Structure 1
Amino acid sequence: MAVPFTLKYQGKRPYLDQSRYSAVVGSRTRRPPDEARRMILDAAAELLAKGGVAAVQVRQVAAAVGMTDAGVTHHFGNREQLLAELLRHGGRRLRTALEDVVGAWLDRDADLLELVESLEGTYRRGGYGELAVAMHAAGWRDPGKGMLNPVVDALHGLRPHGSSIDDTRLAVAALHQAMATESLYGTAFRRSAGMTGAAADDSSAQVSWWARQLQLALGITTP
């Protein structure tokens, strides 16, 4: 099992919180290859989310997990190969998290507000929003199709007979886009519209607004 870690920064150089994880940094313990690769990729993903592609350097990643530079290149060859695998790794993390949210929502037959809150929370927790934006800027594109198709199908089934399936898809895509960027830009966008203080900082009113707009746009009536 991978050892959890928290990145801190001294200037621009990342390091592990030694007060909690001295066992990781104190000695360069030989780890099973799969565990070492996972730790390297998790550290690289956090660097990517915080500082973009330029922040993902072999030396910084090695320092973050308590390895030598050679230890990182042993597993990934060079920085370019590390970045390529990082994008695949980050994509899998995002897809898994979103699939879990959608599956839980469908299992509970929950309302629209819970779906919107769950999507927003997924991107906010663990830096998924930052990671998604950084990955996209770095050139990653989701190779899969229809990750949110179950949501589209569930919502379309609640719409009036004869409604356009493409309208349902567009509504779900717009919701997904908004929730993915809320943690990064929500406060700034609300301030640009004249909101201030706690009203601008708190996303809950915005999330509720999105749930209402989704219901109105799709013509879904609640019991």
Structure 2
Amino acid sequence: MGTPKTQRRIRRSRDEARQLILAAAEQILRESGPEAVNVRAVATRVGLTDAAVNHHFGTRDELLETLLRHAGRRLKDALDAAAEQWKETGASVRQLVDIMADLYADGSYGELALRLHLSGWRDRGSGMLGTVVTVLHERRSQACVAAGRGAPSMAETQFVVGLLHQTVALDPLFGAPFRFSAGARRSDEPALEQKKKAWTAMFEAALAGEPALAGGE
């Protein structure tokens, strides 16, 4: 018998290892929800030791926070790219709705964000929707000038965009129960495409309408 072959250790850079771990954590999150994301499960999924995962992320809480930021960066990159396109074609609320809804459709990232928030974690970033707000506010301002109205409030544009983000992110978790409270039957739950059309119409109307926030500019 020959000498048994030893398995070669794969050497990865720090960034490669972190991306591999995050990809596995995201897969587990989407399959089973935030509770299933832990160091042991992720390590098993990628063929690493628990210590190796802890080396890159410290604790489970740090892994979860990084995972949420990972999704936030992906959302911001997609929205920034859309905002660049809008400079040529005009801002599209529907495209904004599509990008958000596709990220949050299965409820996993909305639930993760909610759990982290309830545990006391707060995002200290500058706001991933800042570029979108800037472009949409510019469009609002141009529309108000064309209609002979006063300048809209930046605070109101921020409020409307934030409300859209809140609505889309939390709909997979709480949308059906709140619609049920309004008398909608569970069997009449609208398809995602119907929701996207409704959200687009509502928020286009909010952005195009008269100022509604007290104390606006």
Compute the TM-score of the two structures, normalised by the length of structure 2.
Answer: 0.69
Report the equivalent of 2:4: none
Contact 2:75 2:99 in 1 (8 A): no
Q: Determine helix, strand or coil for the equivalent of 1:142.
A: coil
**In the alignment, is residue 30 of structure 1 matched against residue 10 of structure 2?**
yes
Report the equivalent of 2:202: 213
Which of 103, 121, 134 does residue 81 from structure 2 map onto? Answer: 103
How far, CA to CA, are the matches of 2:176 and 2:186 in structure 1?
10
Report the residue type matching 1:142 in the other structure.
D
Q: Which has the larger radius of gyration?
A: 2
Which of 142, 146, 155 does residue 166 from structure 1 map onto? Answer: 155
Aligned counterparts, 1:145-156, within 5 A: 145-156=126-137
Aligned counterparts, 1:1-223, within 5 A: 29-34=9-14, 35-47=16-28, 50-52=32-34, 54-76=35-57, 80=59, 82-108=60-86, 109-124=90-105, 127-159=108-140, 160=144, 161-196=150-185, 199-219=188-208
Q: 1:122 to 1:101 in 2, by over 3 A?
A: farther
Report the residue type matching 2:200 in the other structure.
A
Q: 1:163 to 1:192 in 2, by over 3 A?
A: same
How far, CA to CA, are the matches of 1:86 and 1:211 in structure 2?
31
Report the residue type matching 2:158 in the other structure.
R
How far, CA to CA, are the matches of 1:201 and 1:220 in structure 2?
26
Q: 1:76 to 1:218 in 2, by over 3 A?
A: closer
Contact 1:124 1:183 in 2 (8 A): yes
Q: Determine helix, strand or coil for the equivalent of 2:139.
A: coil
Q: 1:74 to 1:168 in 2, by over 3 A?
A: closer
Q: How many percent identity over aligned positions?
A: 37
| Root mean square deviation, CA, Å | 3.2
Contact 1:28 1:67 in 2 (8 A): no
How far, CA to CA, are the matches of 1:75 and 1:219 in structure 2?
46
Q: 1:139 to 1:99 in 2, by over 3 A?
A: farther
Query: Which stretch shows the higher mean deviation, 128-137 or 154-163?
Result: 128-137
Specify every segment of 5 or more residues in structure 2 that has no aligned partner in the other structure, as ranges.
1-6, 145-149, 211-217
**Matched pairs, number:** 191
Q: 1:39 to 1:137 in 2, by over 3 A?
A: farther
How far, CA to CA, are the matches of 2:190 and 2:94 in structure 1?
19
Q: Determine helix, strand or coil for the equivalent of 1:158.
A: helix
